[in-house]
Amino acid sequence: MLHLPMGHSYPSLPPGYQKMGIPPSPLAGPVQLTPSMAGLSLQSQTPEALRVVNLLQERNILPHGAVPPPTPCLPQDLQKFNCSPEVFRCTLTSIPQTQSLLNKAKLPLGLLLHPFKDLSQLPVVTSSTIVRCRTCRTYINPFVTFLDQKRWKCNLCYRVNDVPEEFMYNPVTRSYGEPHKRPEVQSPTIEFIAPSEYMLRPPQPAVYLFVLDVSHNAVETGYLDVVCQSLLDNLNSLPGDARTKIGFITFDSTIHFYNLQEGLSQPQMLVVSDIEDIFIPTPDSLLVNLSECKELVQDLLKALPQMFNKTMETHSALGPALQAAYKLLSPTGGRASVFQTQLPTLGAGALKSREDPNQRASAKDIQHLTPATDFYKKLALDCSGQQVAVDLFLLSGQYCDLASLGCISRFSAGSVYYYPSYHHQHNPSQVERFQKDLKRYLTRKIGFEAVMRIRCTKGLSIHTFHGNFFVRSTDLLSLPNVNPDAGFAVQMSIEENLLDMQMVSFQAALLYTSSKGERRIRVHTMCLPVVNSLSDIFAGADVQAITGLLASMAVDRSVTASLCDARDALTNAVIDSLATYRSSVLTIQQAGLLAPSCLRLFPLYILALLKQKAFRTGTSTRLDDRVFAMYQLKYQPLSYLMPMIHPVLYRVDDLTDEGALNINDRTIPQPRVLQLSVEKLSREGAFLMDAGLVIFLWIGRNCSSSFLSQVLGVPNYSAVPQNMTRLPELDTAESVRFRAFIGWLREQRPFYPVLHVIREESQLKPSFMQNMIEDRTESALSYYEFLLHLQQQISK
Partner 1 sequence: MAFTFAAFCYMLALLLTAALIFFAIWHIIAFDELKTDYKNPIDQCNTLNPLVLPEYLIHVFFCVMFLCATEWLTLGLNMPLLAYHVWRYMSRPVMSGPGLYDPTTIMNADILAYCQKEGWCKLAFYLLSFFYYLYGMIYVLVSS
Residues whose CB falls within 8 Å of the CB of residue 476, separated by 6 or more in sequence, listed in order: 451, 452, 453
Question: Helix (H, G, I), strand (E, B), or coil: what is residue 136?
Answer: coil
- Contact yes or no for 506/456 (Cβ under 8 A): yes
Q: In what order do the strands lie in the sheet with 648-651?
A: 673-674, 648-651, 686-690, 694-699, 754-758
Q: Which is nearer to partner 1, 559 or 754 (CB)?
A: 559
Residue 471 lies near partner 1 (rule: CB under 8 A): yes
Q: Report, in Å, the least distance between residue 562 CB and partner 1.
A: 13
Applying CB under 8 A, what is the total number of residues that bind partner 1?
A: 23
Q: Among 152, 248, 470, 506, indicate the residue that binds partner 1 (CB under 8 A).
A: 470
d(CA 56, CA 53): 9
- Separation of CA 150 from chain center: 42
Q: Report, in Å, the least distance between residue 556 CB and partner 1.
A: 9
Q: Which stretch binds partner 1 (CB under 8 A): 196-204, 266-274, 455-463, 594-602?
A: 455-463
Q: Which stretch binds partner 1 (CB under 8 A): 297-305, 357-365, 375-383, 523-531?
A: 375-383
Phi, psi of 218 (to 5 degrees): -70, -40
- Contact yes or no for 412/470 (Cβ under 8 A): yes
Residue 656 lies near partner 1 (rule: CB under 8 A): no
Q: Which is nearer to partner 1, 127 or 373 (CB)?
A: 373
Residue 136 lies near partner 1 (rule: CB under 8 A): no
Letter string b/e over residues 720-748, b meaning 16 or more CB atoms within 10 A of that residue's CB: beeebeebeebeeebbbbbbbbbeebeee
d(CA 44, CA 34): 16
Residue 99 lies near partner 1 (rule: CB under 8 A): no
Residue 350 lies near partner 1 (rule: CB under 8 A): no
- Contact yes or no for 194/511 (Cβ under 8 A): yes
Q: Which is nearer to partner 1, 159 or 453 (CB)?
A: 453
Q: Which is nearer to partner 1, 390 or 601 (CB)?
A: 390
Q: Which stretch binds partner 1 (CB under 8 A): 60-68, 169-177, 376-384, 584-592?
A: 376-384
DSSP for 736-759 reads HHHHHHHHHHHHTSSS-PEEEEE-
Q: Report, in Å, the least distance between residue 374 CB and partner 1.
A: 5
Q: Which stretch binds partner 1 (CB under 8 A): 259-267, 301-309, 462-470, 563-571?
A: 462-470
- Strands 476-482 and 666-668, bridge-based pairing: unpaired
Q: Among 367, 373, 435, 709, indicate the residue that binds partner 1 (CB under 8 A).
A: 373
Q: Which is nearer to partner 1, 118 or 374 (CB)?
A: 374
d(CA 711, CA 794): 49
Residue 372 lies near partner 1 (rule: CB under 8 A): yes
The DSSP secondary-structure symbol of 372 reads S
Q: Which is nearer to partner 1, 372 or 764 (CB)?
A: 372
- Separation of CA 594 from chain center: 31
Residue 377 lies near partner 1 (rule: CB under 8 A): yes
Q: Among 23, 164, 183, 385, indicate the residue that binds partner 1 (CB under 8 A).
A: 385
Residue 464 lies near partner 1 (rule: CB under 8 A): yes
Q: Where in 154-221 does DSSP place strands (E)? A: 160-162, 169-170, 175-176, 189-193, 207-213
Please list the helix, strand and coil fractions of the chain in percent, rounded to the nearest 5, in that order: 30, 20, 45
Letter string b/e over residues 663-674, b meaning 16 or more CB atoms within 10 A of that residue's CB: eeeeebbbbebb
Q: Report, in Å, the least distance between residue 777 CB and partner 1.
A: 34
Footprint of partner 1 on residues 391-450 (CB under 8 A)?
A: 411
d(CA 155, CA 137): 11
Residue 472 lies near partner 1 (rule: CB under 8 A): yes
Q: Report, in Å, the least distance between residue 181 CB and partner 1.
A: 36
CA separation, residue 238 to residues 232, 244, 537, 540 (Å): 11, 9, 46, 43
Nearest-CA neighbor of 490 among 507, 504, 513?
507
Q: Report, in Å, the least distance between residue 385 CB and partner 1.
A: 7
What Rg do the C-alpha atoms of the chain give, in angstroms? Answer: 27
Q: Among 28, 40, 363, 476, indicate the residue that binds partner 1 (CB under 8 A).
A: 476
Q: Which stretch binds partner 1 (CB under 8 A): 93-101, 167-175, 469-477, 512-520?
A: 469-477
Question: Helix (H, G, I), strand (E, B), or coil: what is residue 439?
Answer: helix
Q: Report, in Å, the least distance between residue 573 CB and partner 1.
A: 18
Residue 474 lies near partner 1 (rule: CB under 8 A): yes
Nearest-CA neighbor of 387 among 311, 470, 324, 448?
448
Residue 374 lies near partner 1 (rule: CB under 8 A): yes
Q: Report, in Å, the least distance between residue 680 CB and partner 1.
A: 43
Q: Which stretch binds partner 1 (CB under 8 A): 154-162, 461-469, 681-689, 731-739?
A: 461-469
CB atoms within 10 A of CB 396: 21
Q: Which is nearer to partner 1, 358 or 474 (CB)?
A: 474
Nearest-CA neighbor of 452 among 425, 432, 470, 426?
470
Q: Which is nearer to partner 1, 493 or 777 (CB)?
A: 493
Question: Helix (H, G, I), strand (E, B), or coil: what is residue 648?
Answer: strand
Q: Among 378, 622, 680, 789, indicate the residue that binds partner 1 (CB under 8 A).
A: 378
CA separation, residue 572 to residues 358, 464, 576 (Å): 30, 20, 6
The interface mask with partner 1, positions 491-520, x = CB under 8 A, is --x---------------------------
Nearest-CA neighbor of 208 among 381, 512, 446?
446
Q: Report, in Å, the least distance between residue 553 CB and partner 1.
A: 12
Q: Among 134, 181, 463, 726, indicate the residue that binds partner 1 (CB under 8 A).
A: 463
Residue 631 lies near partner 1 (rule: CB under 8 A): no
Q: Among 30, 108, 142, 371, indicate the residue that binds partner 1 (CB under 8 A).
A: 371
Q: Which stretch binds partner 1 (CB under 8 A): 52-60, 460-468, 546-554, 626-634?
A: 460-468
Residue 376 lies near partner 1 (rule: CB under 8 A): no
Residue 381 lies near partner 1 (rule: CB under 8 A): yes
Binding region for partner 1 (CB under 8 A):
370-375, 377-378, 381, 385, 411, 461-465, 470-474, 476, 493
